[in-house]
Amino acid sequence: MRDLTSRLRDIVRRDHGGSEAAPAIRELTYVPDVGGLAVDAAEAAAKLGGTLVGTAHGACIVIDRVWDASHSHGRRAVGACAPSADAPLALFDSRAGNAAAWSNRVVFFDLETTGLSGGAGTLPFLAGCGWFEDGAFRVRQFFLPAPSGERTMLEALAAVFEETSLLVTFNGRTFDVPLMETRWAFHRSPAATDEVPHFDMLPTARRLWSRRELRDTPDRASCTLSSLERAVVGFHRVGDVPGFEVPLRYFHFLRTGDTGAIEGVLEHNRHDLLSLAVVMSHALWMAQEGPDACREPSEQMALGRLYERAGLIARAIDAFERAAQGMDREVRPHALARLATMLGREDRHDEACVAWQGVIEQSRHQRGPMSALARRATEALAIHHEHRARDLATARTYAETLRVHADARTRQEAAHRLGRLDRKLSSKKDPGRGLDL
């Protein structure tokens, strides 16, 4: 069964695609009753440094902020982070297409909402859009002084997305964009994001940094944007509003009109957008420059996987070699295993053999039973020495190791391999006996 969002979007498309003679559509949207709220929209706009945009459907506040090209966000200057036409975005998402097309107007997008669960009851009260403009970075925020202005905000966002060649989010594929599509459908309007290519940075961040030790962060294994901006970009927020406080602050604003509660939310949203742009720029720069641009073996390992998936074999091998040479004992055996596999595919079997031996050497420092990776390396070496090097005695040594450390699934296979090698060795000693394979 299709989800509610898909069904609503189909209704909207059918309604807007009818003939000219089609009867007028009865308005089915619901505008919340804002009576009793303590908000003066014009006064709030003035205090927040924005402009009040009003239509027959309500009002929203538009707030612009600009960071010039020389501004530093952590270790990177804003002007150096603008996406270029030769940036290898297709390494991260093949759906990105031709960079020359998507790099025209990249818009970074982030929402602040009344809840994190999604659904029809969740209201996006702040929508932030950021883009590079003459080297500077502009953030344009659309804020609702009352829920009744949502349709005005949606219309203003649609105007921004009309000029957008690529939409960039962080977890937007599962939250921000589906939520906005639901809101457009709720107002019986076509979703302005339908025809805009979308790149979600979160999956790429997980591939590059999920196993990274995020230094000086309380959530060391986290791939949240706030963790990445500290560990990857070197930006540390001061006095930031925690995410769980955001809805509470908005409800407080609606009850009291206190714009002081909202200023921190606006700043939080701006930093999210700027950090998203800088983290994406850093990831693209790493992919373009190669393993020399990486600060840690785990990044080199992740980069190698991206190159491998894209079919860039030489670059993948180089990245895995660099990761294997690093000092990270956790990464090294995995890098050696990927390196050995790729060298084997390239018929560089002697080099692959050396890499597999490196995996076994690394496993000797580990306590407990032989790891699955070490068993895989032992099996690969047994195959190599039996079928390529024709060194049956060495192949039998690896086969015996496999038998000793085999699990229930591979014990029979290991015994069969060992028996075959014993028959080959016996036949070699007694040529007249024949070779039973």
Task: For 154-189, write each residue's pLDDT tens digit.
Answer: 999 999 999 999 999 999 999 999 999 999 999 999
For 363, counting Cβ atoms within 10 Å of its Cβ (0-12 exposed, 13-18 middle, 19+ buried), the class is: middle
Indicate the residue among 287, 310, 330 that finishes a domain. 287
Answer positive or negative: Cα dihedral of 308, 313, 319, 324.
Answer: positive
Confidence of residue 241 (pLDDT cuts 50, 70, 90): very high
**8 A C-beta contact, residue 192 and residue 157:** yes
Phi, psi values for residue 139, rounded to 5° = -115, 125
**8 A C-beta contact, residue 173 and residue 198:** yes
Q: Mark whether 12 and 117 lie in a shared domain.
A: yes
Q: Give the Cβ contact number of residue 360 at 10 Å.
A: 20
- Alpha helices, H only, 135-224: 150-162, 176-186, 201-209
User: What pLDDT score does 5 carry?
Assistant: 58
Q: Mark whether 277 and 308 lie in a shared domain.
A: no
Indicate the residue among 245, 268, 287 that finishes a domain. 287
Residue 373 lies in domain: 291-433
Q: Tokens 């502009």 belong to which residue?
A: 138
The set of long-range contacts for 205-211, using a CB threshold of 8 Å and a minimum separation of 24, is: 205/170, 205/279, 205/283, 207/92, 207/302, 207/305, 207/306, 208/283, 208/286, 208/299, 208/302, 208/303, 208/306, 209/298, 209/299, 209/302, 211/298, 211/302, 211/330, 211/331
User: What pLDDT score does 46 carry?
Assistant: 96
Q: Mark whether 417 and 333 lie in a shared domain.
A: yes
CA proximity to 168, closest of 118, 223, 110: 110
**Domain CATH code at residue 238:** 3.30.420
CA atoms in the 13 A half-sphere facing the CB of 103: 16
| pTM score of the predicted model | 0.84
CA distance 122 to 120: 6
pLDDT of residue 24 exceeding 50 = no
User: What pLDDT score does 363 carry?
Assistant: 84
pLDDT in tens, 256-273: 999 999 999 999 999 999
User: What pLDDT score does 367 carry?
Assistant: 73
Q: Mark whether 261 and 296 lie in a shared domain.
A: no
Q: Mark whether 219 and 106 lie in a shared domain.
A: yes
Q: Mark whether 246 and 302 lie in a shared domain.
A: no
Confidence of residue 210 (pLDDT cuts 50, 70, 90): confident
Judged by average pLDDT, the poorest of 28-32, 401-405, 417-421 is 28-32
Phi, psi values for residue 330, rounded to 5° = -75, -40
**8 A C-beta contact, residue 139 and residue 130:** yes
pLDDT in tens, 59-113: 999 999 999 999 999 999 999 999 888 889 989 988 776 666 677 899 999 999 9
Q: Mark whether 104 and 218 lie in a shared domain.
A: yes
Number of domains in the chain: 2
Q: Mark whether 328 and 243 lie in a shared domain.
A: no
Judged by average pLDDT, the poorest of 134-143, 207-216, 221-230, 331-340 is 207-216
Q: What does DSSP say about strands 136-143 and 124-133: parallel, antiparallel, or unpaired? A: antiparallel
pLDDT in tens, 129-141: 999 999 999 999 9
CA distance 251 to 243: 14
CA proximity to 316, closest of 332, 328, 300: 300
Q: Mark whether 356 and 230 lie in a shared domain.
A: no
CA dist 359 → 291, 330, 379, 385 (Å):
21, 11, 12, 16
Q: Average pLDDT for residues 282-307, to the nearest whole number? A: 94
**Domain CATH code at residue 406:** 1.25.40.10
Q: Mark whether 367 and 316 lie in a shared domain.
A: yes
pLDDT of residue 218 exceeding 90 = no
Q: Mark whether 140 and 243 lie in a shared domain.
A: yes
Indicate the residue among 261, 287, 313 that finishes a domain. 287
Q: Mark whether 277 and 352 lie in a shared domain.
A: no
